[in-house]
Structures are given as structure tokens and as C-alpha cells.
Structure 1
């Protein structure tokens, strides 16, 4: 009967009751078996999926472990912590190494701390990264939103002195400044730019507020703003025992600053006054310079009132470096005419009236009798090339110990000077101790000076040559050339052994 049931039924089959009961029983048993098999299959599938899931978890864990091993073995992870810390410090500095309020050191330290847990740990353990703060309230990041991390940042710096560079122009910055001034006893460098009313909290501090302060840079206000906001003397920096460096720059009125501030001038080592809009007031600046007996570096960029003469003498017995931007004219005087600097070693003059400058330089040397080692002249323009060469040669002749001569952005032809510097047997040479010569033309692409090669070759010799003993001439060690067209002679000079040739 079963065989008949498996064939195609073309005609009705009549079953007996016993046969029908048997088939119904078989159907029930088969259905039960099917359900059992399906249940087993589901259980097997669930178990298999669980096994697969467990295996996947094990795989992921092993991949994480493998990545961790690879990170540990990566070259950067093998760098000692001390070296990595040094790299972090260099990374956070600007390319020229000079910090100011525009350098976003906050962003640099944040990025370093966000790379991975290991870098974050090293960064947080490097106090030098957090001891410098550069903030400008003119950047997109609002200063008021940054108050919270000031304490956290400075606490990470440990006990290191703090270097603070601020550019604050908004009244909303007052709260931020107040938080910084809570750490004033640790501030070493204070560089502030902005309007006087932004720094009321700073300038109203009593004396002895900055026990570790070494350098102050001020670029505050315009003309009468200081007098308006601070009618009384500002004494915040007066009793700073370590303060030695003061810089006044940009549009600040230095006359009003010196009237407003009480600074420990007698202990200063460097003083820089750079303000194109300020006029040198003898009644204020002369007293200031007279008090700076320990000054070593002095930079002045000011217009000077008519009336200064060599009869008005300022003696700076310790000064070794002087930089002056010249504004001599029928209305203004040359400050150099009243300076006496017996220990001066480096002199840099920036100006335009070479006839006045060279005359005053000669008078200055007669008063000071200095053994000048380095002279830099910038932006001297003269239509009379021959006269310029004569005056320059005569001026250089009074500095017999000069070792470095730098002529920057000059207009005249330098060949007459190079001819005077060229050594020849039996004649007296100009600047016998010269070892470094630098030439920079103000017009890019100027023709290569034809007398340069012969001058260099006359003052250079091989290492085994005894010419220095015979002539007393120092061998030229470095030549710097800027703004001139390339010439085949450059290859000849650059291949000389022992001579550093810097061409760009």
C-alpha cells in the first residue's frame, strides 16, 4: 500500500479503516520527528552562532593585543621619555624660536596631549610645555572661555618660572588677566600689548609684585592714554630684583611710558626703545640713559629733538652692543653725537643720511676709543657713489680691530670698497683683521660685484700657508651674499677650503 501511495494517484483509492488509522499514526510520528529535527537544528545553529561570536570576540581581543604589541615595538615608542619630552618642547615653539602673543601654543599642547594615552602622559609630565602662555583676545578663541584652564595649565608647570605673552584689547579680558596675575610671583617674562584700560589690574599692582621677573616688553596705548588711565606713577615693576631686560616697541609713546613707569634702570642689562611715532625727549630719555650704568645692549629707534651735541655727554661704561635707527635731518639730531661707549664691540647703524652718520661715527670713535669688532650698516643710499666709497673707507679705517663687516640694503656700487679691502704686497690693507664680510643689495637681481672675487682670493690662503705670520693679515672665513645675480665666479669662491660661502 505504501508503494502505491508514492505513485501518482490517478483514480480514487478506497482505504480500509485499519489502513487509514495506520497512515494517520505515521503522519503524526513523522511530524513529531520533523519538529524534533528542527529543534535540534535551531539549537545547533544557536550554539554555532554563540561559538562564532565567542571566536570573533577572541579574535578582536587578539587584534587589540597585537596592535598594542606593535605600538610598543614602533620606533616612536622606543624613544626615551626624556628625548620625547624635548621633541614636544621644540614642536611647541615657533620656527624662529621667538614667542609672542600670536603663537597658539595652547593649540599645540592640546594636540600633543590628544594623540594617545602615552603622549598625554609624557606631555603632562613635561612642565616646560605649560610654563609658557601666549594669548590674544583677537583670535577666534574667546579669552573668557579660557579662564578655566589657566590654573590647570600653570599647575602642570610645577615650580618653573612663567613666560606670559598677552595681547588684550577687550574689557572682557580683565577677568582672564586677573587669573594670570594670581601667579605673578612666578612670572619671569611679561610681554603685553593692547590698550591701557585692558591692563588696569596689572598696572595697579604694588611694588614687589614680581619677585622673579626678568624681562618686560611693553606696547601699550597711544600718546596720552597712559596719562589718562594712570595719572599716578606705576610702581608694579619697581622692586623686581631680577629685572634686567626692558623693551618698548611699536606705537607706544616711550616718553609717556618713562614718565608713567618707575623702573629699576640702574640694574638693567638691555634696553630697547623702538617706536617710529615717538620723539626723543632729552628731558626724559637723557635721565633714563644716565641711570643705566650697567647697560650692555641698547637699541634705539627714535626721532631726536634738535639741540643734542657732544657737550651733552652720556657715558655707558659697560655697553657692548648698540643699534641706532637714524633720523637726522634739519629738524632732528643724531643721538650718537653725545654717546661715549669705551667697551663697545658691536655697532649697527640704520639710516639714510650717510654724510651726517660717517662724521658722527668718527667723532664717536675719537671720544670712546673703542675696539669695535663688528659693524653693520643698513639702508644707506647715496647718489654720489665715489663720495660714498670715500666716506665709508675713511670711516672703516678708524676701526683697525674690526672682524665683521655687514653692509645691508645698500644702493651704491660696492666695487670701490672691495678694491680698498683687496690685499696687495707692500701696501696697507683696510681692515686687516676682517674674517666675515656680508653684502646685501636692496635691489634683488643686482649684478655680481666684479671686484669681489679678487678681494676674496687676496685674503684667503690654504691651511698650510704661512701668509698670516708674514703679513699680520687675518684669513677670511665667511662671505655672505644676498640680492645679487648668480655668476660663475661664485662657484670659484664657494669651493675654497676653510671659507664658508653663504649665497641666496
Structure 2
């Protein structure tokens, strides 16, 4: 019903004349198709998950123009989206916090963005059919951005019989992050007590792994 209303009005450009608009939060992702936003001046963009079909290519169009963005939170559709290919390059030079929900390793935004100032990264990943691919993308993202993360939160949705296997992959991700951030010896038992890190694993379906320093 709401989508039909927006279709009847067409593109809404009223926000282009709002020079003080800095933060946008949308409860429905499809609104990106109808709202013409001054994304160049935004410092915060949050697009909540919804059940309405929308064209996720809107993210590919909008994000490269978000050069002042400090905080980004997006949910990608469960149907599958191949817009974030490794051939795409998106630089978010001021981004410090990123929270993303995706349902497929091929959908994740980490494979194409560079965020040199990122401090906090949170990933919710469902249907872990290609966790190895996600590990590769996360490693390449970290190497490309050379960012010193202060917090990494990873929520893979798993079942109990796969818990230990997935946990090993997640720990590999965390150790890679720590090594690239100047803690090359963190994986050695004798050095674990020397750093103000903590890793928390909660449950199996889902479970969360958190590292911060």
C-alpha cells in the first residue's frame, strides 16, 4: 500500500533543499527508490531490514557519493544480490562505524569498499553456505583499508552441529584482524593475558563473537 502511494507521487526531491540534514534512518529499504537524498552531506545512514521487494542496486548508486558518512547500517535482501562485486570500488573516507546484514557471501559490502578510518565493524551473516568466501573478503577488506579496528562483532547464523567448524573460521578472522592491527603474537598463549582484548561466544544459533581493545 505504502509503495503504491509513493509510485503515484514519483520521486520526492524535497530533501535536497535541507542543507542541515545530516542523519537519515529509513524503516523500509524501498524508500531509497523514491526519496532523492542529499547523500553527499550525510554523516549517518541507516536502512532497516524490511520484507518489501526493492532494487538493491540503489546502494551501489548512493554509497559512492557518501563521502562524509561516519556511520552506516544497511540490510541487504535475502533473495540474493550481486551488485557488490570485487570489480566495484567504493571509498568511504570518513566512515568509522559499519553494521551490515547479508544472506550470502557474494552480497557482502566488504568485497568492494575501502574505509581507512573504520573503528567499529558489525556483521550479521545468515545462510553460511560460503563462510570461506566471507573470510577471504574480510581479509582483503582489512588489507585494503589498513584500518585499526577497535571493535569487531560477528553474528553468523549457524546450527549446533556446525558450531565448532564455524567457530574455527570466525576465530581465524579475529586473529587476522589482530595481526594486521599490530598484535602479531596475540594467538600465542603466553601473550593472551598481555592485551586488553576479550572474545565472547554466545550460544549456537545464532552466536556472536566480539573482540575489542
TM-score, scaled relative to structure 1: 0.35
Q: Deviations over 1:416-452 (max 9, x none)?
A: xxxx86732xxx65x9644344342257xxxxxxxxx
- Structure 1 residues 239, 274: CA separation in 2 closer, same or farther (over 3 Å shift)? same
Please give the alpha-carbon distance, in whole angstroms, between the structure 1 residues aligned to 2:50 and 2:168: 31
Which residue of structure 2 aligns with residue 333 of structure 1?
107
- Separation in 1, partners of 2:101, 2:174: 19
Judged with a 3 Å threshold, the aligned counterparts in structure 2 of structure 1 residues 401 and 241 are, in CA distance, closer, same or farther, namely farther
Task: Give a deviation string over 1:149-187, Cα, whole Å, max 9, x none.
Answer: xxxxxxxxxxxxxxxxxxxxxxxxxxxxxxxxxxxxxxx
Deviation at 1:364, TM superposition (A): 1.1
Alignment of structure 1 residues 172-251 onto 2, 5 Å = 221-222=2-3, 224-228=4-8, 230-231=9-10, 233-249=11-27
1:275 aligns with 2:49: yes
Deviation string, structure 1 residues 127-167 (Cα, Å, up to 9, x no partner): xxxxxxxxxxxxxxxxxxxxxxxxxxxxxxxxxxxxxxxxx
Q: Deviations over 1:364-386 (max 9, x none)?
A: 11211111110111243264445
Q: State how far apart, in whole Å, the 1-side matches of 2:189 and 2:97 are.
A: 29
Quick one: distance in 2 between partners of 1:440 and 1:368?
29
Query: Do structure 1's residue 368 and structure 2's residue 142 form an aligned pair?
Result: no
Contact residue 60 and residue 83 of structure 2 kept, 8 A: no
Provide the TM-score with structure 2 as the length reference.
Answer: 0.78
> Would you say 1:441 and 2:207 are equivalent positions?
no
Give the Cα–Cα distance (whole angstroms) in 2 for the partners of residues 380 and 245 of structure 1.
Answer: 30
Note closer, same or farther for the CA distance 1:378–1:393 as it changes in structure 2 (3 Å cut).
Answer: closer
Q: What residue is the counterpart of 1:209 in the other structure?
A: none
Residues 258 and 286 of structure 1: is their aligned pair in 2 closer, same or farther, counting only changes over 3 Å? same
SS at 1:312 equivalent: coil
Tell me whether 1:393 sits opposite 2:171 in the alignment: yes
**How much is the aligned-residue C-alpha RMSD, in angstroms?**
3.0
- After superposition, the C-alpha distances for 1:210-259 in whole angstroms (9 at most, x for unaligned) are xxxxxxxxxxx23x43112x12x31222221211110111xx3x34x233
Check if 1:316 corresponds to 2:78.
no
Runs of 4+ in 1 over 3 A off after TM superposition: 382-387, 420-423, 431-439
User: Take 1:432 and 1:388, find their aligned partners in 2: how far apart are those partners?
Assistant: 27
Tell me: higher relative CO, structure 1 or 2? Use CA pairs within 8 A at least 6 residues apart.
2
Please, which of 35, 38, 60 is the counterpart of residue 264 of structure 1?
Answer: 38
Partner of 1:18: none
Distance 1:432 1:290, change over 3 A: farther
Paired position in structure 2 for 1:292: 66
Q: 1:432 to 1:327 in 2, by over 3 A?
A: farther
Q: Hey, what's the Cα distance between the residues in 2 that align with 1:309 and 1:371?
A: 24
1:381 aligned residue: 158
Residues 276 and 244 (structure 1 numbering): CA distance in 2 closer, same or farther, change over 3 Å?
A: same
The structure that has the greater radius of gyration is 1
The 5 A counterparts of 1:4-153 are none
Q: From the superposition, tell whether residues 270 and 401 of structure 1 become closer, same or farther in structure 2 (CA, over 3 Å).
A: farther
Structure 1: which 5+ residue stretches go unaligned?
Answer: 1-194, 196-220, 404-419, 444-475, 478-504
| Residue 272 (structure 1) shift | 0.7
